[in-house]
A and B are shown apart, each in its own frame.
Chain A
Amino acid sequence: DTEVTQTPKHLVMGMTNKKSLKCEQHMGHRAMYWYKQKAKKPPELMFVYSYEKLSINESVPSRFSPECPNSSLLNLHLHALQPEDSALYLCASSQADRDGEKLFFGSGTQLSVL
């Protein structure tokens, strides 16, 4: 099973709302990620968690707040977003093997900020 599950699939929110994106994996992977993808662009890394600790924050604005409650779950809390934050938000998880660190992605949450 190489499944990463993201909810919700679609989200529309106003600039004053607070919402959360959720991600779950049951592959025992030790690292989890949030990526942002704008239309017709490649995914861009936002955050990396390794063993439930935040390892990388790619200078993401504080209106995005990640949380890793346990090794299977990853959340992204959203508050006071801007219309330009509208994008596909992708979660991924990974585990190293003899070749390298393979990332497996969920289907994403399509976010629209009005």
Chain B
Amino acid sequence: GESVGLHLPTLSVQEGDNSIINCAYSNSASDYFIWYKQESGKGPQFIIDIRSNMDKRQGQRVTVLLNKTVKHLSLQIAATQPGDSAVYFCAENNAGGTSYGKLTFGQGTILTVHP
């Protein structure tokens, strides 16, 4: 069960390194996934998305990988910069047949980039 004062997973990297943030999702019926970045005092910012009929999608410096067999999602950030420091959330769309985005968020990972 969840413990009081649960700490978010953390990842610390040096500037210029590549970062990999992982996420396990629970609903095998989810067909759409989004990665968000949330900086302190701000709302979640859209980074990249992927549909369940794909296993990889690339953006600018970011790549999302989807493994439906094990219900695993990852976000790869190339040449990580200090400005990438934030909390990263994966989100799955389990709209249950509706056409709007009833997103369920993962617990989040704190990324810290050291200069």
Contacts and interface: CB of A to CB of B under 8 A. Distances in A.
A105 B46 CA distance: 8
Interface stretch (A12-20, A38-46, A70-78): A38-46
Interface of B: 6-8, 31-32, 34, 36, 41-46, 49-51, 89, 91, 93, 95, 98-108
Interface SS of chain A: strand
Nearest to B36: A105
A99 B32 contact: yes
A55 B98 contact: yes
Contacts, number: 78
A42 B25 CA distance: 14
Closest 4 CB pairs of A and B: A101-B101, A100-B32, A42-B105, A105-B43
A105 B36 CA distance: 10
Nearest to B52: A100
Given A94-B101, A107-B41, 4 more contacts: A41-B107, A96-B100, A101-B99, A101-B101
Contact of B102 (A56, A90, A108): A56
B43 A90 contact: yes
